[in-house]
């Protein structure tokens, strides 16, 4: 009996620990997401506002983006239903191109955001992801509010989407890609060619 009650206490403690862990989990995750966006945002803003030339800023931002943005995850999401039918080679090729496209999209914006500051607001949970509200302030412009979606698929918090004016960037991108593929015979290769062309045009414009 004594043994039994001892075991009961151990089990109860274990159950309680698990339960409290479970209850504490969302709060901790929300804090994590907030801290993560705060940290990432502060680093980004510091680079954007630093008085160094644009190419140097781009070089500094690149590792930061690669670490804190789940580019592969976003890429898979954006390919939508075509991810399933893509061959491993196509997937690999696509992700490599997508990396470049996304990094270009982010670094192209750097010049426009001089003098930016931001404040973090509430965190809401949706599914396995957290949505962090942020308000972006730029000189002589009205503040812009946006939501950063933070995912944990790779064991650490990473940005998986940005929602501005109610539109999710990754969903809009996915609809762009899937409509393009569907209208071009349903072949993933046409998308790869188009992305390559887009990158070539970008490189030409930069030179």
- Which of residues 32 and 192 has its CB atom nearest to another protein in the complex? 192
Q: Considering only residues 183 through 202, tell me which ones interact with another protein, judged by CB under 8 A.
A: 183, 191, 194-195, 198, 201
- Which of residues 29 and 58 has its CB atom nearest to another protein in the complex? 58
Distance CA 59, CA 122 (A): 31
Among 110, 138, 187, 192, binds another protein (CB under 8 A): 138
Distance CA 203, CA 147 (A): 30
- Which of residues 147 and 158 has its CB atom nearest to another protein in the complex? 147
- Among residues 90, 83, 143, the alpha carbon closest in space to that of 119 is found at 143
Among 120, 144, 192, 199, binds another protein (CB under 8 A): 144
How many alpha carbons lie under 13 Å from residue 95 in its C-beta half-sphere?
A: 14
Is the four-CA dihedral 94, 151, 50, 118 of positive or negative sign?
positive
At residue 52, what are phi and psi to the nearest 5 degrees?
-105, 160
Among 6, 25, 172, 200, binds another protein (CB under 8 A): 172
Q: Considering only residues 47 through 106, tell me which ones interact with another protein, judged by CB under 8 A.
A: 80-81, 84, 105
Distance CA 45, CA 23 (A): 34
- Among residues 28, 15, 34, the alpha carbon closest in space to that of 122 is found at 34
Here's the x/- map for another protein, 12-51, by CB under 8 A: it reads as: ----------------------------------------
Among 38, 43, 117, 178, binds another protein (CB under 8 A): 178
> Strands of 117-126's sheet, edge to edge?
117-126, 129-137, 144-151, 158-164, 167-168
Question: Where do contacts with another protein occur on this chain (CB under 8 A)?
Answer: 80-81, 84, 105, 109, 112, 136, 138, 141-142, 144-146, 162, 164-169, 171-173, 175-180, 182-183, 191, 194-195, 198, 201
């Amino acid at each position: 009996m004594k043994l039994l009650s001892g075991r009961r206490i151990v089990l109860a403690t274990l159950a309680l620990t698990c339960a409290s862990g479970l209850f504490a989990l969302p709060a901790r995750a929300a804090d994590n997401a907030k801290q993560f966006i705060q940290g990432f945002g502060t680093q980004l803003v510091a680079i954007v506002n630093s008085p160094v030339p644009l190419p140097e800023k781009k070089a500094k931002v690149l590792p930061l983006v690669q670490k804190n943005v789940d580019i592969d995850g976003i890429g898979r999401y954006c390919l939508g239903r075509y991810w399933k039918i893509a061959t491993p080679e196509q997937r690999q090729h696509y992700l490599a191109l997508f990396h470049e496209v996304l990094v270009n999209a982010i670094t192209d914006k750097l010049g426009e955001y001089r003098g930016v500051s931001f404040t973090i607001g509430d965190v809401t949970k949706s599914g396995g992801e957290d949505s962090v509200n942020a308000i972006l302030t730029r000189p002589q412009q009205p503040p812009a509010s946006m939501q950063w979606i933070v995912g944990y698929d790779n064991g650490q918090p990473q940005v998986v989407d940005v929602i501005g004016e109610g539109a999710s960037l990754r969903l809009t991108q996915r609809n762009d890609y899937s409509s393009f593929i569907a209208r071009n015979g349903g072949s993933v290769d046409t998308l790869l060619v188009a992305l390559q062309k887009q990158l070539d045009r970008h490189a030409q414009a930069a030179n």
